[in-house]
Amino acid sequence: MAGQQIARMLSGAWRVAPPVLDFDRNLLDGVRPQLLASGTAGLVWRKIRGDQSMTDSPVADVFRDWYRSNALNSARQQQAIAAIFSRLTENKINPIIVKGWSVARLYPELAARPVGDIDLYVAPEDRAKAEQIVRKLPDFPYHVDFEHLALALSKDTVASVFERSEIRELHGTPVRVLGAEDNLRLLAVHFLQHGGWRPLWLCDVAVALENRPPQFDWKRCLGDDQIRINWVESVLVLAHLLLGARIDDTPAADWIAEFPQWPRESILEKWGRLSIETVGQGYFPPVGSMLKPGNFIRAIRHRWDDSIRATVEAGGRFDNSSRLPMKIRWGLKRAAQFYFPRIEH
């Protein structure tokens, strides 16, 4: 129930003119913990700020404060991004920023989305040098992440990713971002890789989808791998079914009626369980928590009983077939990695 309420709250929240909110303040207060934990407080404020009956309530003050905090943090991080790009390019390294600011810039207001890590993609031969340069930056306030498996899953060459990338200016500094097709694919695969637990990431997919340029090339975005096509189209359908994203003019439109029920149920159940504690652990509690009394079943359920992550790990399709074989295979793999960490898999 809470997951469905969160989906209703966020429907269309990324648009210039968000749809009218059909919630009262009591319902909003009821899902406030999940919304704050999910990073969508700024988006929620955009939907309620025009309704005086909502903004006069104490619960609205919380979302207003988070929105303002997003604005301040975004301004600070933009300075940091410009600085790190300047330093890396001075050292003959050409990074691409992915997720984070590269997606936030697509929203009508940067304050709609919170800041987090700075995610960079560099050529494999440049990574060690780039990491060393970042470590030497004095008092750099953000974690810089160079791990982006979703890009690797696209099976593109480094050269082709850079060839399709685009330059945007940030505080007078040229900043390279992914091309629109690569960006949408990355966001979709990233959402599935993490089990779809964070609604903000599905909003990211929706805003990238609805703000794609007129010359957007679907064949380039989807590629030739039938599994990857299934994954990306599945996320587009989920963005439509859960958040109202417009997909009528996309290759995924024909699949809406036949889309399986279980991915929606899995995602909504996760959204309803969100809390600051689960987000702090990347939603999935540490494997070591299994050793604590009373936590075994909960840890198993959160970490291994996940149909979405099991499907991605198995390289499977999102369809109506049973997930059980994939979940068993994934669970055994995770157990082996925990109990025999030094064994290469």
pLDDT at 284: 47
Whole-angstrom distance, CA of residue 35 vs CA of residue 276: 10
Question: Tell me, what's the pLDDT at 345?
Answer: 42
The pLDDT value given to residue 283: 47
Angle, nearest 10°, between helix axes 127-135 and 58-90? 120
**Residue 325: what pLDDT?**
84
- In the prediction, which pLDDT does 204 show? 98
Given a contact cutoff of 8 angstroms between Cβ atoms, the answer to whether 208 and 103 are in contact is yes
What is the reported pLDDT for 297?
A: 53
Q: What is the pTM of this model?
A: 0.90
| Distance (Å, whole) CA 178 – CA 196 | 22
Q: Which segments in the chain show pLDDT lower than 50?
A: 280-284, 287, 289-290, 296, 344-345
CA 152 distance to own-chain centroid:
17
pLDDT in tens, 113-138: 999 999 999 999 999 999 999 999 98
